[in-house]
Amino acid sequence: MLTNTYIHIPNIGTTTERRIWDCGIKCWEDYVENHNMIKLPRTKKRLLLSGVEESIEQLSSGNHKYFARRLPMNMQWRAYRHFKEKTAYVDIETTGLSCQNDRITMIGIYNGNETKTFVRGIDLDKAPAELGKYKQIITFNGARFDLPFIEYEFPGTFDQIHIDLMYPLKKIGYSGGLKKIESMLGLRRSDETAGITGLDAVRLWKRYERGNSEALETLIKYNTEDVVNLEKIIRITHPWMIERELKVSKKS
């Protein structure tokens, strides 16, 4: 989908992008070959062609920052497949909802193979370095919750593509919290964590602070299932997101 995206090019909006799609152009290389098919003002044509050539170059050199900066927030999901191998699925637990008054208790990071959990009082300060290894971050409601918390505690952590799954999922008909969407997609939790909510996560942390190490284990398991399920969710729904985007184009 990224290689058939044009709205990251300055002065190109959704109207022009849809006109390109409607001509049957499937990717940037296709556009470079057939750009004369598209009837556009000369200046815009020049801009578009050089923007497409630059995009091809930037993608082949793996420059995620180029796309992170230029893609609108609600379109970053289009980059998913191209940076899939360098993706961190991220979820945090905190003591409450306010990033000014509450604290992060743990940060879970899953890379598609293994999960690392960084815990306050043990190794939480190592989380930013781990996050820095990735080109793409995937969260649920992270734009309003996880990233502001992390940025508040560790300023300058993020320069990656950020896919906040909440918005594209909503567009394809999956609204509600993460647990609800997991259940809609048939994803199951383990017996130990089934039914645990965010509020319970706060309680588990307090029990751990009072000396209950089992509570920490449960909290880590809960957080791990969150990040692992993020990967499952995008793997299932990403094709639907693409399908919906192209369908909207055909309708208009």
- Residues forming contacts to DNA in the complex (CB under 7 A) are 7, 10-17, 19, 41-44, 72-74, 91-94, 96-101, 105, 140-141, 143-145, 148, 164, 166-167, 170-171, 175-179, 197-199, 201-202, 226
Nearest approach in angstroms of CB 184 to DNA is 11
- Report phi then psi at 27, rounded to 5: -160, 175
What is the secondary structure of 173-218 as a DSSP string? T--S-HHHHHHHTT----TTTTT--HHHHHHHHHHHHTT-HHHHHH
Q: Which is nearer to DNA, 59 or 230 (CB)?
A: 230
Q: Which is nearer to DNA, 62 or 144 (CB)?
A: 144
What is the secondary structure of 101-165 as a DSSP string? TS-EEEEEEE-SS-EEEEETTTTGGGHHHHHTT-SEEEESSTTTTHHHHHHHHSTT---SEEEET
- How far apart CA 142 and CA 234 sit, in angstroms, is 15
Q: Which is nearer to DNA, 127 or 201 (CB)?
A: 201
Nearest approach in angstroms of CB 198 to DNA is 2
| Number of neighbours of residue 7 by Cβ within 10 angstroms | 16
Nearest approach in angstroms of CB 215 to DNA is 13
Nearest approach in angstroms of CB 105 to DNA is 7
Q: Which is nearer to DNA, 10 or 61 (CB)?
A: 10
Nearest approach in angstroms of CB 123 to DNA is 18
- How far apart CA 32 and CA 186 sit, in angstroms, is 42
Nearest approach in angstroms of CB 247 to DNA is 14
Q: Which is nearer to DNA, 10 or 211 (CB)?
A: 10
Tokens 């950020």, residue? Answer: 162
Q: Which is nearer to DNA, 101 or 113 (CB)?
A: 101
